[in-house]
Amino acid sequence: MYKELLNKVKNNGLLNASFWSVIATVFRVLSHIILSKLVAVYTGSGGLAILGQLRSLIMFLESIATGAIGGGVSKYLAEYKNTNKKQVALLSTSLSITLVFSLLTSLALGLFADEISEWIFGDTEFKEILLAFSFTLPFYAINMLLIATLYGLKAVQASAYVNISGSISSLLLVGTLTYHLGLKGAMLGNVFFQLIVLIITFYFTQRLFAIKQLRIQFDAYFIKKLFQFSLLAIVLNVTAFSDILIRKMLTDLISVEAAGNFEAILRLMLPFSLMTNMVVNSYYIPHLSSLHNTVAIQKEIKHAMLFLGSVMAILFVSLFLIKNWLIDLLFTDSFSIAKEILPFYLLGEWCRLLTWPITNYWVAKARIRLVIIVELVVTTCYLLSVYWLLGELGVMGIGIIHLTVFLVYMLILYHFFNKT
């Protein structure tokens, strides 16, 4: 019975990707539970807000440091799965782009560490953290490229192992440094733990693809192909940058504690986004890229919508039912505001995740301009709503705005999808 069930999971691409995503997410959740408690206890809600700023900055600069080509690498590796020569040329060009962009980004971060620290953290006290990150950033970028390679090769199980190793490395390093050094320890742990993950990612990638074949080269054909995805990826990572702006607005208009409660909500949502994102990158985009029949594509999109909507509805309802207990467990008494915001935020997040099958279909079919326009409009509406309404609605406004913006976005997107 168990063998038959495992065989069904292995033979169904979406189920297989989802299965390994769940396994990786369980490790990430367990890591999050312990780390969130440690950070909350040793740094408080204000410290959690500052750490959130650093994490968002890391996400944003990672994208720039890779030349934002990860999505293109995954897509074209899947398309050229039977042509090793093209895969080598693609990855050689990708590696060369990553080295150039990561070194330039590191240099800029090091030169302007004072100004960036003052703007993001409100203090130059954390300049040393940014200088340390400027050193590790190229290694982060190479790790991101290797992960994109695993996704493009549809190595779902290997991708899950890498994510699991990241969770364990983060737990051990960030946890230890937080316990001994407090907030700065937590920040240093977030800056350095990916160095450990890079070794593991390299190991799994090398098993599936002969990395020694790669050379420093700039193939004009692949540069053009990959940079079609760069602007899109940077626009998509504006979300990380918008989180920085939202925390700043919360701090300036309400309090740093309010920004800390917002960060607590983001931490609660992160495992669900990670699980969905892993399925999308490791299975959904490469699979849609290989489909050329309109009926088959429509069937896959509708299947993904139904599957994602059902699973997330069950998970979010469960989270709502245990929200008081969970927030008390993961954080401290200073995070009680998060309990009031969470119901609105959960509904908004469900709407947001349900748009992913359509927007990622556009990504898979390289309809880049459309995705960029949509993402910019939605992000701009979100930020303007926060800026205009946060003062009147108070901290609860974050949840209400999140729900309203993404409900409207989902309804408009589904309307146009059904018409086409």
Q: Are the C-beta atoms of residues 376 and 235 closer than 8 Å to each other?
A: yes
Q: Is the dihedral of CA 140, 197, 264, 320 positive or negative?
A: positive
Q: Let me know if 322 is exposed, middle or buried by CB neighbors in 10 A (0-12, 13-18, 19+).
A: exposed
What's the pTM value of the predicted model, to 2 decimals? 0.79
Residue type, 218: F
Q: What's the count of helices (H) and strands (E) in the chain, helices before strands?
A: 18, 0
Q: pLDDT per residue over 354-396, tens digit each?
A: 888 877 777 666 676 777 788 888 888 999 999 888 878 888 8
Burial of residue 214 (CB within 10 Å: 0-12, 13-18, 19+) is middle
Helix, strand, coil distribution of the chain in percent, nearest 5: 90, 0, 10
Phi, psi of 152 (to 5 degrees): -65, -30
Place 283 in a pLDDT band, splitting at 50, 70 and 90. low
Helix pair 156-181, 183-208: axis angle to 10 deg: 160
State how far the Cα of 192 lies from the Cα of 194, in Å rounded to an integer.
6
Give the pLDDT score at 16: 65
Answer yes or no: is pLDDT of 289 > 70: no
The single-letter code of the amino acid at 198 is: L
Extract the tokens encoding 147: 């992960």
Task: Assess whether pLDDT exceeds 60 at residue 11.
Answer: no
Span 131-140, pLDDT tens digits:
999 999 999 9
- Residue 349's CB is within 10 A of a number of other CB atoms, namely 22
SS3 11: helix
Q: Is the pLDDT of residue 410 over 80?
A: yes
Q: Domain ranges in the chain?
A: 18-419
The DSSP secondary-structure symbol of 215 reads -
Q: Report residue 290's pLDDT band, with 50, 70 and 90 as the boundaries.
A: low
2-11 helix and 13-65 helix, angle to the nearest 10 degrees: 50
pLDDT at 2: 44
Q: Considering Cα of 281, then 286, then 292, then 297, what sign does the dihedral take?
A: negative
H/E element holding 181?
helix 156-181
User: Measured between alpha carbons, how far is residue 405 from residues 52, 181, 237, 344, 381 in Å?
Assistant: 22, 40, 18, 11, 7
For 323, how many CA atoms within 13 A lie in the half-sphere containing its CB? Answer: 23
**Structure token pair of residue 257:** 């504690």
| pLDDT at position 281 | 61
Q: What DSSP state is assigned to residue 283?
A: I
Decide if 132 contacts 97 (C-beta within 8 A).
no
pLDDT of amino acid 312:
86
The alpha-carbon radius of gyration of the chain (Å, integer) is 21
Res. 5: pLDDT tops 60: no
